[in-house]
Amino acid sequence: MYGGDEVSAIVIDLGSHTCKAGYAGEDAPKAVFPSVVGAIDQMEVDDPEKTENNSGSAVDSKNTVRTLDSEKVKGKRKLFVGSQALGFRRDHMEVLSPIKDGVVLDWDMVDSIWDHAFRECLLIDPKEHPMLLAEPSSNTQQQRERTAELMFEKYKVPALFLAKNAVLTSFASGRATSLVVDCGGGSTTVAPVHDGYVLQKAVASSAIGGDYLSDCLMKSLESKGITIKPRYSFKRKETRPGEFQRVIASDIKECVCRAPDTPYDESAYSNIPMTPYELPDGQTIEIGADRFKIPDILFNPSLVQAIPGMDNFAEIAPSVRGLPQMVIESINKCDVDIRRELFSSILLAGGTASMQQLKERLEKDLLEESPQAARVKVLASGNATERRFSVWIGGSILASLGSFQQMWFSRAEYEEHGASYIQRKCP
C-alpha cells in the first residue's frame, strides 16, 4: 500500500469536548480546539452584517476578517468553528455539540469541524494524506459507514482507518491488553482491550463526564451566591448564559478540585480550609468542601442530588454507577482467563482523569471491592498532557508504524467493495 514509514498520515480524535488533530509520528496534536459549533439560524437573522457588528466584543477589523474564514454556511444555518470564531458572543448564536454519548447527531457540524481541522489548522489538502480517525468503542455500523462515505466522497482521501479509542489508549502506554477507563468531557467509558481488540460485550459507560462535573460545580457555587461572569460580559450587561461560563467553571475544577481519599461526607468536610481562586474579572472566590464533593460524584453519583439546580439527575440515574463498580462489572463480563491481567493494568485516560488524586482513590476503592487474588494496579501517565491526549498519541504511534501500512482501507477497495467493507478492514 504505502512504502516505507513516510506516509504523512493525519490523525484526528474528535471527542465530545475537544477535537485533536495532527500528523502521525509526532508526540502531540498540532491543533486542539473545542468540538462544539456555534450555529446562527439564518431565518432569525435578516441582516447578517448587523449581527457581525453587534457581536458583543470590540473586534478589530483584521479579527473580523479572520473569523469570517471559519464560518460555514450550511443550508439556512451559519456555522462557526474553532476557538477564535467561538471566542466572542454573537446575537442569536447557539453553541451546539454534534456528539452525544459518542454518537454523532449532526453530520453537517462534524463535517465543518473536520473541514476546519484540515484547511485552517493543519493547512493541508485531505486528498494527499491517509486519515486515521479515532472512534468510540461502541460505535455503530451505520456511523462507521457514514464516516467512510464522507471521507472518501467529500474529502477524496487516499486511505482511511478507524481505530477504537480504547485500543489507541492501550497502544499509547505500550500494552496490547488492558482495561481502559476513559473519563472524557461527555461521558466515562470503561472498555477492556485484549490483544489489540476491544471486547464489546464488556464495555460499560456512564453519562457523567467532565462537562457534567463542571455544571455541578457551577450550580453549587451559584447556590452559595457566587456568580461566574463569562469573559465577554465584564464590561457590558450579560444577555445569555451557558457555554461561556462553563469554560471558567472547568478551569476552576482543574485547578482546585481533587478526589477525596475517602467517600465524601458532608459533616467531615464542613470545616475544611478554603482555597482562593481568582476569576478572570478580578474577583477572588473561596472554594471549600466543593473541591472534594465534585470529583467524588464520579465515585458516588447520588451526591448530585444534594446540589441545588441539578434536576436532570433522574434522567441519567439508571445508567449511572460509580467508577469502581463499572470497572469490576466490566472485568466480570470478560473471560476468566484474562481477568487477572486486566486488574493489573487499568489505564486512566481522558481530560477528566487529570484530576488530582483520582488514580490513588480509584486504586484504593478497587482494592476493597476486588477479589482477594487480584493484584490491582491503576496506571496513569504522570504527564497531564499525555493523559489528556492518550487516544491521539496512540493513533500517532499506530499510523506511523511500518507494519501497519498494509492495514489501510484504500480508495481502490472503497470503490470496489463500498462503505460496508470498513467492517472487515477496521474490526
- Condensed to tens digits (0 to 9), the pLDDT of residues 171-190 reads 999 999 999 999 998 889 99
CB 243 within 8 A of CB 250: no
Residue 252 lies in a domain: yes
In whole angstroms, what is the distance from residue 394 CA to residue 191 CA? 15
Q: Which residue from 43, 216, 16, 196 is spatially nearest to 113, judged by alpha carbons?
A: 16
Residue 274 lies in a domain: yes
Residue 288 lies in a domain: yes
Residue-wise pLDDT for 277-330, tens only, equals 998 888 899 999 999 999 999 999 888 888 888 777 766 766 688 999 999 999
Angstrom distances, CA of residue 354 to CA of 50, 382, 392, 409:
42, 9, 16, 34
More confident residue, 217 or 241: 217
In this prediction, residue 296 carries a pLDDT of: 94
Residue 268 lies in a domain: yes
Residue 366 lies in a domain: no
In this prediction, residue 243 carries a pLDDT of: 64
pLDDT over 70 percentage in the chain: 87
Residue 111 lies in a domain: no
Structural domain tally of the chain? 1
Mean pLDDT of 34-42: 89
Residue 299 lies in a domain: yes
In this prediction, residue 108 carries a pLDDT of: 93
In this prediction, residue 89 carries a pLDDT of: 79
Q: Which domain holds residue 218?
A: 210-316
Banded model confidence at residue 30, pLDDT cuts 50, 70, 90? very high
For residue 41, pLDDT beyond 70: yes
The strand pairing partners of 167, in sequence order, are none
If 0-12 CB within 10 Å is exposed, 13-18 middle and 19+ buried, where does residue 406 land?
A: exposed
Q: Which residue from 269, 268, 266, 288 is spatially nearest to 277, judged by alpha carbons?
A: 288
DSSP state of 151: I
For residue 103, pLDDT beyond 60: yes
What CATH number has the domain bearing residue 296?
3.90.640.10
Residue 192 lies in a domain: no
